[in-house]
Amino acid sequence: MLTTYSPVEMMVAAAARILEDKKIVFVGTGMPIIASIVAKRLYCPNLLIIFEAGGIDPLLDRLTVSVGSSYTIDRAIMATSMDYVMSLAQRGYIDYGFLGAAQIDRYGNINTTVIGDWRRPKVRLPGSGGANDVGSLSWKTITIMRQDKLRFVDRVDYVTTPGYLNGPGSRERTGLPINTGPYRVVTQIGVYGFHPETKEMMLLALYPNTTLKDVQENSSFKIIVPEKVEVLDPPTIEELKVMREIDPAGIIIPRR
Protein backbone atom coordinates (compact mmCIF):
# COMPACT_ATOMS: atom_id res chain seq x y z
CA MET A 1 0.00 0.00 0.00
CA LEU A 2 2.96 2.36 0.47
CA THR A 3 3.59 2.36 -3.29
CA THR A 4 0.31 4.22 -3.90
CA TYR A 5 -0.78 7.57 -2.53
CA SER A 6 -3.77 9.91 -2.50
CA PRO A 7 -3.94 13.57 -3.62
CA VAL A 8 -4.06 14.57 0.05
CA GLU A 9 -0.86 12.67 0.77
CA MET A 10 0.83 14.36 -2.19
CA MET A 11 -0.25 17.75 -0.84
CA VAL A 12 1.03 17.01 2.66
CA ALA A 13 4.37 15.75 1.33
CA ALA A 14 4.79 18.83 -0.87
CA ALA A 15 3.99 21.15 2.03
CA ALA A 16 6.31 19.34 4.44
CA ARG A 17 9.23 19.83 2.04
CA ILE A 18 8.74 23.61 2.06
CA LEU A 19 9.46 24.04 5.77
CA GLU A 20 13.03 24.65 6.96
CA ASP A 21 15.10 23.53 9.90
CA LYS A 22 15.73 25.97 12.77
CA LYS A 23 12.61 27.96 11.86
CA ILE A 24 9.37 28.65 13.75
CA VAL A 25 6.02 27.67 12.23
CA PHE A 26 2.60 28.78 13.52
CA VAL A 27 0.34 25.86 12.60
CA GLY A 28 -3.37 25.78 11.76
CA THR A 29 -5.78 22.85 12.02
CA GLY A 30 -5.77 19.81 9.72
CA MET A 31 -3.22 19.28 6.96
CA PRO A 32 -0.85 21.96 8.31
CA ILE A 33 -0.44 19.91 11.51
CA ILE A 34 0.36 16.69 9.65
CA ALA A 35 2.74 18.40 7.21
CA SER A 36 4.59 20.09 10.08
CA ILE A 37 5.00 16.80 11.95
CA VAL A 38 6.27 15.07 8.79
CA ALA A 39 8.75 17.90 8.26
CA LYS A 40 9.97 17.79 11.86
CA ARG A 41 10.41 14.02 11.93
CA LEU A 42 12.09 13.63 8.56
CA TYR A 43 13.71 16.89 7.48
CA CYS A 44 13.70 19.59 10.13
CA PRO A 45 14.46 18.18 13.59
CA ASN A 46 14.89 21.70 14.96
CA LEU A 47 11.65 23.05 13.53
CA LEU A 48 9.68 24.76 16.32
CA ILE A 49 5.92 24.18 16.06
CA ILE A 50 3.57 26.66 17.74
CA PHE A 51 -0.18 26.32 18.26
CA GLU A 52 -2.71 29.11 18.65
CA ALA A 53 -3.91 28.09 22.11
CA GLY A 54 -0.40 28.34 23.55
CA GLY A 55 1.33 25.01 23.02
CA ILE A 56 4.96 25.40 21.94
CA ASP A 57 6.84 22.49 20.39
CA PRO A 58 4.96 19.46 21.76
CA LEU A 59 6.07 15.90 20.92
CA LEU A 60 3.06 14.92 18.85
CA ASP A 61 2.65 11.24 18.03
CA ARG A 62 -0.86 11.61 16.58
CA LEU A 63 -3.04 14.17 14.90
CA THR A 64 -4.78 16.66 17.16
CA VAL A 65 -8.25 17.60 15.94
CA SER A 66 -7.82 21.26 16.80
CA VAL A 67 -5.16 23.80 17.69
CA GLY A 68 -6.72 24.05 21.15
CA SER A 69 -6.60 20.35 22.01
CA SER A 70 -4.70 19.19 25.08
CA TYR A 71 -2.40 17.22 22.75
CA THR A 72 -0.86 20.52 21.65
CA ILE A 73 0.88 20.76 25.02
CA ASP A 74 1.84 17.09 25.31
CA ARG A 75 5.52 17.09 26.38
CA ALA A 76 5.80 20.64 25.03
CA ILE A 77 8.67 22.93 25.92
CA MET A 78 6.10 25.54 26.99
CA ALA A 79 2.38 25.66 27.74
CA THR A 80 1.53 29.32 27.42
CA SER A 81 -1.50 31.32 26.30
CA MET A 82 -3.04 32.63 23.12
CA ASP A 83 -1.95 36.20 23.80
CA TYR A 84 1.63 35.03 24.39
CA VAL A 85 1.96 33.19 21.07
CA MET A 86 0.23 36.03 19.21
CA SER A 87 2.75 38.43 20.74
CA LEU A 88 5.53 36.25 19.29
CA ALA A 89 4.08 36.91 15.85
CA GLN A 90 3.74 40.61 16.58
CA ARG A 91 7.39 40.79 17.61
CA GLY A 92 8.52 39.12 14.37
CA TYR A 93 9.53 35.70 15.69
CA ILE A 94 7.26 33.59 13.44
CA ASP A 95 8.96 32.50 10.22
CA TYR A 96 6.02 30.60 8.73
CA GLY A 97 2.29 30.90 9.20
CA PHE A 98 0.66 27.67 7.94
CA LEU A 99 -3.06 27.89 7.17
CA GLY A 100 -5.99 26.30 5.39
CA ALA A 101 -8.55 28.28 3.36
CA ALA A 102 -12.00 28.13 1.80
CA GLN A 103 -11.24 30.76 -0.87
CA ILE A 104 -8.09 32.41 -2.17
CA ASP A 105 -7.56 35.00 -4.91
CA ARG A 106 -4.71 35.96 -7.24
CA TYR A 107 -3.05 38.09 -4.55
CA GLY A 108 -3.19 35.42 -1.87
CA ASN A 109 -6.02 36.95 0.16
CA ILE A 110 -7.77 34.21 2.15
CA ASN A 111 -11.43 33.82 3.08
CA THR A 112 -12.52 31.57 5.94
CA THR A 113 -15.47 33.72 7.08
CA VAL A 114 -18.45 33.68 4.67
CA ILE A 115 -19.45 32.73 1.15
CA GLY A 116 -21.56 35.46 -0.42
CA ASP A 117 -22.40 38.90 0.98
CA TRP A 118 -21.24 39.01 4.61
CA ARG A 119 -24.51 40.74 5.59
CA ARG A 120 -26.56 37.81 4.25
CA PRO A 121 -24.09 35.02 3.54
CA LYS A 122 -24.93 31.87 1.64
CA VAL A 123 -22.56 29.91 3.87
CA ARG A 124 -21.02 30.77 7.21
CA LEU A 125 -17.50 29.44 7.65
CA PRO A 126 -15.47 28.94 10.87
CA GLY A 127 -14.05 32.46 10.79
CA SER A 128 -10.62 33.82 11.48
CA GLY A 129 -9.49 32.32 14.76
CA GLY A 130 -5.86 33.37 14.74
CA ALA A 131 -5.55 33.27 10.95
CA ASN A 132 -5.68 37.04 10.50
CA ASP A 133 -2.87 37.57 12.99
CA VAL A 134 -0.83 34.74 11.51
CA GLY A 135 -1.17 35.96 7.92
CA SER A 136 -0.64 39.57 8.90
CA LEU A 137 2.45 39.15 11.05
CA SER A 138 4.36 36.00 10.01
CA TRP A 139 7.24 36.54 7.62
CA LYS A 140 5.91 33.95 5.17
CA THR A 141 2.44 32.44 4.87
CA ILE A 142 1.85 28.95 3.47
CA THR A 143 -1.70 28.01 2.48
CA ILE A 144 -2.82 24.44 1.84
CA MET A 145 -6.23 23.88 0.27
CA ARG A 146 -8.19 22.15 -2.47
CA GLN A 147 -8.16 23.92 -5.82
CA ASP A 148 -11.20 24.46 -8.05
CA LYS A 149 -13.00 27.41 -9.60
CA LEU A 150 -15.14 27.98 -6.51
CA ARG A 151 -12.07 28.21 -4.26
CA PHE A 152 -9.57 29.91 -6.57
CA VAL A 153 -11.63 33.04 -7.19
CA ASP A 154 -10.93 36.37 -8.86
CA ARG A 155 -11.75 38.13 -5.60
CA VAL A 156 -12.52 36.53 -2.26
CA ASP A 157 -15.97 37.23 -0.81
CA TYR A 158 -14.39 38.34 2.46
CA VAL A 159 -10.76 39.05 3.35
CA THR A 160 -10.26 37.07 6.55
CA THR A 161 -6.50 36.94 6.18
CA PRO A 162 -4.69 39.54 4.09
CA GLY A 163 -2.45 38.47 1.26
CA TYR A 164 -1.04 41.12 -1.02
CA LEU A 165 -4.50 42.77 -0.91
CA ASN A 166 -4.76 44.75 -4.19
CA GLY A 167 -1.23 44.15 -5.39
CA PRO A 168 2.28 45.58 -4.90
CA GLY A 169 2.62 47.89 -1.90
CA SER A 170 -0.90 47.23 -0.57
CA ARG A 171 0.21 45.48 2.61
CA GLU A 172 2.69 48.18 3.49
CA ARG A 173 0.14 50.96 2.87
CA THR A 174 -2.23 49.38 5.38
CA GLY A 175 0.48 49.27 8.03
CA LEU A 176 1.41 45.57 7.84
CA PRO A 177 5.08 44.68 8.36
CA ILE A 178 7.37 45.15 5.37
CA ASN A 179 8.58 42.02 3.54
CA THR A 180 5.82 39.80 4.92
CA GLY A 181 3.02 38.05 3.03
CA PRO A 182 1.96 34.96 1.09
CA TYR A 183 4.78 32.60 0.19
CA ARG A 184 3.38 29.27 -1.05
CA VAL A 185 -0.02 27.79 -1.90
CA VAL A 186 -0.22 23.99 -1.96
CA THR A 187 -3.15 22.25 -3.69
CA GLN A 188 -3.97 18.83 -5.13
CA ILE A 189 -2.68 20.10 -8.49
CA GLY A 190 0.59 21.81 -7.65
CA VAL A 191 2.57 24.32 -5.63
CA TYR A 192 2.30 28.06 -6.28
CA GLY A 193 4.26 31.12 -5.31
CA PHE A 194 3.80 34.81 -6.09
CA HIS A 195 5.44 36.93 -8.76
CA PRO A 196 8.06 39.16 -7.11
CA GLU A 197 6.88 42.28 -8.96
CA THR A 198 3.13 41.92 -9.61
CA LYS A 199 2.45 39.79 -6.46
CA GLU A 200 0.09 37.62 -8.51
CA MET A 201 -0.07 33.86 -8.02
CA MET A 202 2.45 31.92 -10.09
CA LEU A 203 2.84 28.19 -10.68
CA LEU A 204 6.07 26.73 -9.33
CA ALA A 205 5.61 22.96 -9.50
CA LEU A 206 3.26 20.25 -10.71
CA TYR A 207 2.85 16.69 -9.44
CA PRO A 208 3.60 13.53 -11.41
CA ASN A 209 -0.05 13.13 -12.45
CA THR A 210 -1.11 16.77 -12.99
CA THR A 211 -0.81 19.08 -16.00
CA LEU A 212 -0.84 22.75 -16.96
CA LYS A 213 -4.38 22.20 -18.23
CA ASP A 214 -5.44 21.20 -14.71
CA VAL A 215 -3.99 24.44 -13.35
CA GLN A 216 -6.10 26.79 -15.50
CA GLU A 217 -9.24 24.64 -15.58
CA ASN A 218 -9.41 24.77 -11.79
CA SER A 219 -8.99 28.52 -11.30
CA SER A 220 -11.31 31.47 -11.92
CA PHE A 221 -8.32 33.75 -12.53
CA LYS A 222 -5.33 33.37 -14.82
CA ILE A 223 -2.31 31.95 -13.03
CA ILE A 224 1.15 32.99 -14.20
CA VAL A 225 3.05 30.05 -15.70
CA PRO A 226 6.82 30.53 -16.05
CA GLU A 227 8.90 28.87 -18.75
CA LYS A 228 10.31 26.33 -16.32
CA VAL A 229 7.95 24.40 -14.03
CA GLU A 230 9.31 21.74 -11.70
CA VAL A 231 7.64 18.33 -11.33
CA LEU A 232 7.81 17.15 -7.73
CA ASP A 233 8.64 13.62 -6.70
CA PRO A 234 5.76 11.57 -5.28
CA PRO A 235 5.57 10.99 -1.52
CA THR A 236 8.35 8.79 -0.21
CA ILE A 237 7.70 5.62 1.75
CA GLU A 238 8.98 7.39 4.86
CA GLU A 239 6.61 10.34 4.36
CA LEU A 240 3.62 8.03 3.87
CA LYS A 241 4.50 5.99 6.95
CA VAL A 242 4.59 9.09 9.15
CA MET A 243 1.33 10.48 7.75
CA ARG A 244 -0.55 7.24 8.30
CA GLU A 245 0.97 6.65 11.70
CA ILE A 246 -0.08 10.03 13.10
CA ASP A 247 -3.57 9.87 11.55
CA PRO A 248 -4.61 6.25 12.18
CA ALA A 249 -8.32 7.13 12.13
CA GLY A 250 -8.08 8.64 8.65
CA ILE A 251 -9.39 12.04 9.72
CA ILE A 252 -7.23 13.83 7.13
CA ILE A 253 -5.26 11.05 5.43
CA PRO A 254 -7.79 8.80 3.61
CA ARG A 255 -7.85 5.08 4.30
CA ARG A 256 -8.35 2.52 1.54
The C-alpha atoms of residue 88 and residue 25 are separated, in whole angstroms, by 11
Torsion of CA 138, 142, 143, 144, to 10 degrees: -140
**Nearest residue to 240 (alpha-carbon basis) of 9, 80, 29:** 9
Annotated catalytic residue within 9, 20, 52, 239: 52
Is 20 known to be catalytic?
no
Measured in Å, how far apart are the chain's first and last C-alpha atoms? 9
105 and 166 in contact (C-beta within 8 Å)? no
The C-alpha atoms of residue 122 and residue 183 are separated, in whole angstroms, by 30
**Residues with catalytic annotation?**
52
